[in-house]
Structure 1
Amino acid sequence: MERELFNLKRHDITVETIIRNPAPGKFYEDAIKYDPGSVITDNGALVVRSGKRTGRSPADKRVVKTDGIEENLWWGDINIPLDEHTYKINHRRAIDYLNTRERLYVIDGFAGWDPNYRLKVRIIAERPYHGLFMHNMLIRPTQEELAEFGEPDFVVYNAGKFPANTYTEGMTSDASVDVNFKTNTMVILGTEYAGEMKKGIFTVMHYLMPKKDVLSMHCSANEGEDNDVALFFGLSGTGKTTLSADSSRKLIGDDEHCWSEDGVFNIEGGCYAKTINLTEEHEPEIFNAIKFGTVLENVVYDPVTRKVDYKDVSITQNTRASYPIEYISNSKIPCMAGHPENIIFLTYDAFGVLPPVSKLTPEQAMYHFISGYTAKVAGTEMGVTEPQATFSACFGAAFLVWPPARYAEMLAEKMRKHGAKAWLVNTGLTGGGYETGSRIDLKSTRAIINAIHSGKLDKVETVKDDVFGLSIPTSCPDVPADILIPRNTWGNADKYDQQAQKLGQLFNRNFEKYKEESSDEIIAAGPKI
């Protein structure tokens, strides 16, 4: 029943038509009726537009600073403080706007597959697209669980169509995403990008879980036939989603996980995959998950055939697909597993310096975890042709709440306790820098990952890298040996040495801000210049 006597008066919302946890088909019907620009593709997915913002607005994210919030949070550019009075203004603005709508959608679901740690989440939104998105991304309760849901632990008020007042103190634009850990609420104004809701809940879990001695992580995870679990950390473009969606292994989740005393569990009930240049040949699991019930954001399609052109980035390069994790044929339900055997840090090194794979000591693992390195090739519009190093603490700085060292220490402790091994895998360039190198082919990277899973790579001879101190395997099954030692792949070894020194300096410069809270052993695990 759509109305089922459910109301939001407890949230100061008086709209009469409240549609709570409907079937996906209802979202489709309402999107076509009420949400201009929504269409159904030839394979049944729902195409939507997120408005002028096609990605997150990190500069507009705020955390409310109250007496009940610890002073030692990671305050700064990531967690920008907001006073309680301003939050009340934004909250009131959102409530007043939502009360002008003819209908609202409520999604009640869970964050966290482990019942011992899961969070009851309520989403209140006006767009059918936002409702279907969070229907996919939260863990969907059964009808019995929904009937007994009770009061939520956390509420998201999505008034994204209505702008923040730019004259309100603390506002940097007409968008504002505010998290309040005292009232357990979140307000979204001025941005319709659905990822703000997903990542907002992730931020909440990043705050709550470490307080329970549970490590929250921005990573994907899968499990082999022998119940061996692997975690994949990596920034956008490094292959985290692609490499974890392995047809020979069960997918636990593609983006957000926790590691408790009992093992690993997924935070989400769905996947949020990039679709730029998506093909069935290279990413069959993701390609085949795009069907009825899937939300496609900001993609371009043929208006006659309704076929999507995944190469067309005229709207944005951040084209996305949101779908229930069950749409991955080899997903593991419930999304829980034992303790990881392998921790894999993925990086796209556009400098062509880092090896395709190296084994890390515990200290090196902490160093690279805190660093969170990848590289992107700069745009050519200003004549810049050199790659740009990108560092994001814990491979997800935008979502951290506590200082990075706290998460790193928890990871180190759990790795030591459960005997997990750490690896650095470069999915970027080999054979030279940006101008002369080529990307390590996906076939070789998959073979490297398979050798890690099987344990074969742990038994081969290694050599030490001079600058980064990495232990580099000299052989790997189904991988050409001549690509494993990066210095040997360059036509000019002196140029490689210069590039390695340059990248090492960038690492060290970035790590300066973490030295005070890091041990001497972790600091010593960095590059030697």
Structure 2
Amino acid sequence: MKTVESFIKNELYSHDNLQKNLSVPRLVEKILSKNEGVLTATGSVRATTGAYTGRSPKDKFIVKDESCEEFIDWGPVNKAIDEKAFNKLYKKVTAYLMEKDELYQFKGFAGADSNSRLPIQVINEYAWHNLFSRQLFINPTDEELASHEADFTVISAPTFKADPAIDGTNSEAFIIISFKERVILIGGTEYAGEIKKSIFSIMNYILPRNNILSMHCSANVGQEGDVALFFGLSGTGKTTLSADPYRRLIGDDEHGWSPSGVFNIEGGCYAKCNNLSEKKEPQIFNAIRFGSVLENVILDEESRLPDYDDTSLTENTRAAYPVENIDNIITPSVAGHPNTIIFLTADASGTLPPISKLTKEQAMYHFLSGYTSKLAGTERGITEPQATFSACFGSPFLPLAPATYAKMLGEKIDLYQSNVFLVNTGWTGGSYGTGNRMKLLYTRAMIHAALEGELNSVETTQDEIFGLDMPIHVPGVPDDVLIPKHTWEDPVAYDNEAKSLAMKFHENFKKFTQVSTAIQQAGPIYRS
């Protein structure tokens, strides 16, 4: 029987009209001629994604075979599907794609560090998905393209709908990774973010096995060469806060930390557009220009100007653009070892401090906890913030056990003496529905102080419930904002909400039985 690899080469590669590594203008022409999207007043292309406007984690699977069975952290995140089901579905998808009048191929790389980059290719049914891939991954030079041999292939067929009863999937949509065949099969969903995150999942499997920590974080570098990392799930502010006019951007979402330093896994940015404005986020706003891809953004029918405040399709509106569209970047996207690490959380309870400095043990506790509130639209079915714990701030994308990544991070914090802060970009003055989202101006001021070392020796006070050391003064931030209880009208209501969150931390951390006692005790002080 043909292997999957040979099937790709003999079938999809021989498609009569396989469009290979088209330029941005040619892809834009294809998108417009096929009515896959519309041209906006910014020069970007706007596409809509139908029913799937966010990731679909319940539809993600890994093929369970001898190549990876002993290494994968099997469970609700990494669900298994057998080889037979995968091969049958693969053949159905490729036969379906062979009937299309055109397919689109992108060849490029994941990983800006030439010593550890992964050659990849993406074969798309849609031209706009191919443009998305071109903007999000690293483009090869002409010389590199001539000798490019992909180590992993993404095959994306959004209009192919699976039959769960026959195909072994959870729904009509599916994202299936086969490490043995080095193939990622995507169907039933038009949300382009699945392409990006599937490659990240692959890198989260490959890099740690080569002594490189893979991280769901953004990164930038200061004028003195100091590097900062920003960990956090979607909606916590990684992209926004790393796009700093006074620091050069390394990347906005996915990085590796090797013995040589930090490098960007991607070649582009995938920024949330909800309430985007030139005043608040000028770098991101101005990066959306010709060749960029807007997802589910509402346009004025006549002027074609984007209305970033209109979230009638989804709150998870997105823009994909190459990192070069940000003026202040570092090229290539590599830098030294981090001086400062920021853990970002969007706390919908409104009780976590807006900024606190963590001890080594607290850093490990909060990294393993990965607390935030899932924001509306980032996943199917999420319509308002929900408290969640995502290990290493990226559990949906981690094929290996969280302890693998946590151990590596702890060793690197020790080795390079990185300062670690927990920053709450969520609610203040009350929980979601009562309080308000923390002002971006204040968050930027707090992070600036952390990066400049101004909080290393500042006077602090300890939160009586969470045990976190909160600075009592930060330049540019009202003192009352720094102590969350002071922002609530009802202190008793605050205590109740904070204690409830503390118990959620304790309950979640019970699964990490193999960490040291010091780390286990580094969580909230309060216990019922």
Q: If the TM-score is normalised by the length of the shorter chain, which range does it land in?
A: over 0.9
Q: Relative to structure 1, is the Cα distance of residues 279 and 526 closer, same or farther in structure 2, using a 3 angstrom cutoff? A: same
Aligned counterpart for 1:252 among listed residues 250, 253, 263? 250
Displacement of 1:376 in angstroms is 5.8
Q: Which amino acid aligns with 2:94?
A: I
Q: Which residue of 2 aligns with 1:183?
A: 181
Distance in 2 (CA, whole Å) between partners of 1:18 and 1:343 is 44
Partner of 1:268: 266
Residue 105 of structure 1: aligned partner: 104
1:323-347: CA deviations, max 9, x gaps?
A: 0000011111111000001110111
1:519 corresponds to: 516
Aligned to 1:154: 152
- Offset at 1:9? 3.8
On the 8 A contact 1:347/1:426 being kept in 2, the answer is: yes
Provide the rounded CA distance (Å) in 2 between the counterparts of 1:16 and 1:475.
66
Cα offsets for 1:400-441 (capped at 9, x unmatched): 111111111111011111111110011222333446533322
* Cα distance change on mapping 1:524 and 1:164 into 2, 3 Å: same
Gaps of 5+ in 1: 1-6, 380-384
Which residue of the partner structure matches residue 4 of structure 1?
none
Which of residues 238, 241, 246 in structure 2 aligns to 1:240?
Answer: 238
Judging changes above 3 Å, is the alpha-carbon distance between structure 1 residues 123 and 386 closer, same or farther for their aligned structure 2 residues?
closer
Q: 1:157 to 1:434 in 2, by over 3 A?
A: closer
**Secondary structure in 2 aligned to 1:414?**
helix
Unaligned runs of 5+ in 2: 1-6, 378-382
Q: Which moved more, 1:48-57 or 1:15-24?
A: 48-57
1:461-476 matches, cutoff 5 A: 461-476=459-474
CA distance in 2: counterparts of 1:494 and 1:165, whole angstroms: 52
* 434 and 31 in structure 1: CA distance in 2 versus 1, 3 angstrom threshold: closer
Identify the residue that residue 437 of structure 2 maps to in structure 1: 439
Instruction: Report the Cα offset of residue 12 of structure 1.
Output: 5.1
2:278 counterpart (259, 277, 280): 280
Asked if the contact 1:64–1:81 (Cα under 8 Å) also holds between the matched residues in 2, the reply is yes
Please give the per-residue CA displacement for 1:344-376, whole angstroms capped at 9, x wherever unaligned: 011122222111110001111111111111236
> Could you tell me which residue of structure 2 aligns to residue 145 of structure 1?
144
Task: Tell me by how many angstroms 1:169 deviates.
Answer: 4.8
SS, match of residue 262 in structure 2: strand
Matched, 1:79 2:87: no
What's the CA shift string for 1:49-91, capped at 9, x where partnerless? 2233222211111100101114242111111001000010111
Q: Which amino acid aligns with 1:32?
A: L
Instruction: Show the counterpart of 1:486.
Output: 484
- Asked whether the equivalents of residues 342 and 421 of structure 1 are also in contact (C-alpha less than 8 Å), the reply is yes
TM-aligned CA distance change 1:37 to 1:314, over 3 Å:
farther
1:8 is displaced (CA, Å) by 6.5
Any idea what SS the aligned residue of 1:218 has?
strand
Structure 2 residue 97 is the aligned partner of structure 1 residue 125: no
Contact 2:89 2:167 in 1 (8 A): no
Following superposition, the deviation at residue 163 of structure 1 comes to: 1.2
1:243-295 deviations in whole A, cap 9, x for unaligned? 11111100100100010100000000000011111111111111101110101
Report how far residue 166 of structure 1 moved.
2.3
Tell me if the contact between 2:11 and 2:98 (Cα under 8 Å) persists in the aligned partners: no
The answer for the alignment partner of 2:387 in structure 1 is 389
Q: CA RMSD in A?
A: 1.9
Instruction: Output the CA distance in 1 between the equivalents of 2:442 and 2:517.
Output: 36
Partner amino acid for 2:240?
A: T
Q: 1:131 to 1:432 in 2, by over 3 A?
A: closer
Q: Quote the Cα distance in structure 1 between the aligned partners of 2:18 and 2:487.
A: 62
- Kept in 1, the 8 Å contact 2:215–2:256? The answer is yes
Report the more deviating stretch, 130-139 or 16-25: 16-25
Partner in structure 2 of residue 332 of structure 1: 330
CA distance in 2, matches of 1:221, 1:165: 41
Following superposition, the deviation at residue 307 of structure 1 comes to 0.9
Query: What residue in structure 2 maps to residue 63 of structure 1?
Result: 62
- d(CA) in 2 for partners of 1:264, 1:130: 28
Q: Distance in 1 between matches of 2:172 and 2:432?
A: 38
Per-residue CA distance 1:477-529 (angstroms, 9 max, x = gap): 22222222223333443333222211101111122222x23222211111121
2-side partners of 1:387 and 1:223: how far apart? Answer: 31
Determine if the alignment matches structure 1 residue 506 to structure 2 residue 494. no
Say yes or no: does 1:311 pair with 2:302. no
Tell me if the contact between 1:13 and 1:99 (Cα under 8 Å) persists in the aligned partners: no
Contact 1:300 1:309 in 2 (8 A): yes
Q: Distance in 1 between matches of 2:375 and 2:298?
A: 25
Cα distance change of structure 1 residues 254 and 378 upon mapping to structure 2, 3 Å threshold: closer
Question: Helix, strand or coil: the match of 1:177?
Answer: strand
State the SS of the aligned residue for 1:306: coil
Closer/same/farther in 2, CA of residues 231 and 104 from structure 1, 3 Å limit: same
Please give the residue correspondences for 1:341-356 in structure 2 after superposition, counting only pairs within 5 Å. Answer: 341-356=339-354
C-alpha contact 2:235 2:375 (8 A) present in aligned 1: no
Shift of 1:460: 0.6
1 CA distance for matches of 2:158 and 2:433?
A: 42
Q: Which residue of 1 aligns with 2:91?
A: 92
Partner of 2:4: none
Rounded to whole Å, the distance in 1 between the matches of 2:146 and 2:422 is 46
Partner of 1:29: 29
Q: What TM-score, normalized by structure 1, do the two folds share? A: 0.94
How many angstroms apart in 2 are the aligned matches of 1:50 and 1:136?
18
Equivalent residue runs for 1:217-228 within 5 Å? 217-228=215-226
Structure-2 separation of matches of 1:52 and 1:388:
21
Cα displacement string for residues 195-228 of structure 1 (whole angstroms, at most 9, x for unaligned residues):
1111000000000001011110111001100111
Name the CA distance, whole Å, in 2 between partners of 1:468 and 1:417.
27
Q: How many Å separate the matches in 2 of 1:130 and 1:399?
A: 20
Greater mean alpha carbon deviation, residues 233-242 or residues 453-462 = 233-242
Residue type of the partner of 1:71? E
- 1:458 corresponds in structure 2 to 456
Letter in 1 for 2:519: I
Q: Is the 8 A contact 2:355 2:423 kept in 1?
A: yes
Distance 1:54 1:432, change over 3 A: closer
Is residue 426 from structure 1 mapped to residue 424 from structure 2 by the alignment? Answer: yes
CA distance in 2, matches of 1:310, 1:386: 19
Deviation at residue 191 of structure 1 after TM alignment? 1.4
Letter paired with 1:340? P
Q: CA deviation at 1:317?
A: 1.6
Q: Residues 37 and 489 from structure 1, CA distance in 2 versus in 1: closer, same or farther, beyond 3 angstroms?
A: same
CA deviation digits over 1:13-71, x for unaligned, max 9? 4311221111101111111112x251101111011122332222111111001011142
Amino-acid identity (%): 51
